[in-house]
Structure 1
Amino acid sequence: MEVEKPYRIKKNSDFQMIYRKGKSVANRQFVIYMMPDKGLTHFKLGISVSKKLGNAVTRNRIKRAIRENFKVHKNDILPRNIIVIARHPAKNMTTLEIQKSLEHVLKIAKLFNKRIK
């Protein structure tokens, strides 16, 4: 199962607005853009994986791992618009490594609403 539809950011205009007005935080594998939104009761997630990172199989594997991580932490993440951009090192990472790296960058971004170990 994946992150449900109301949790997704799909429109290009939404992505562009978050890029322009949001704050960004990064580690070596991921960049996260975040922007508060008054009406949100839960986070909304947009995922961007460039074609430079590999073929469709590779890109979809990275996206699935990112969605899985957000699903695991669904109740722990603050209600924000969040865009995750995968960087080149993410290409060769396992799902578990992607999860650890994402948790790291989410902690830096202070997007968890309670202490996550």
Structure 2
Amino acid sequence: MRKSYRIKKESEFQDVFENGASVANRNFVIYTLKRDQKHFRVGISVGKKVGHTAVMRNQIKRYIRQSLLELKPDIDPQADFLVIARRSANQLDMAGTKKNLVHVMKLAGLLAESDVTTI
């Protein structure tokens, strides 16, 4: 994803975290905040409890980024959102990550129900 699609600043992370609505499933938590902008922005957080090594955490982040890239046309452009991986996310492969992200994003209202087919 290009830099314009990312939330990188701590202040922007905190704004979405404190003022946004949260939705979760077993593997991911998503905080969403609606804004007036031309495309969505996403922040990804994978803590040390999820993967003890940087290699594992980076692999989970790559899976999340690739899933979001594939879902890009269907994501609400007015949204800023944070994807926070839970501990059980380290046991997912690419297909499982995408399936779980689609599920939690539909719960959060970021995807239309009929727009996305799971895998």
Q: Distance in 1 between matches of 2:91 and 2:112?
A: 30
Do the aligned residues in 2 keep the contact of 1:76 with 1:114 (CA within 8 Å)?
Answer: no
2:95 matched to 1:96?
yes
2:39 matched to 1:42?
yes
Q: Residue 75 of structure 2 is aligned with which of 74, 77, 91?
A: 77
Q: Distance in 2 between matches of 1:114 and 1:29?
A: 20
2:50 matched to 1:53?
yes
Q: Distance in 2 between matches of 1:76 and 1:5?
A: 19
SS of structure 2 residue aligned to 1:112? coil
Paired residues in the alignment total 114
Moved >6 Å (runs of 4+): none
Could you tell me the TM-score, scaled by structure 1's length?
A: 0.93
Once superposed, what is the RMSD of the aligned Cα atoms?
1.0
* Percent of aligned pairs sharing the same letter: 46
Could you tell me the TM-score, scaled by structure 2's length?
A: 0.92
Structure 1, unaligned stretches of length 5 or more?
none
2:5 matched to 1:12?
no
Q: Distance in 2 between matches of 1:113 and 1:100?
A: 15
SS of structure 2 residue aligned to 1:85? strand
SS of structure 1 residue aligned to 2:29? strand
Structure 2, unaligned stretches of length 5 or more?
none
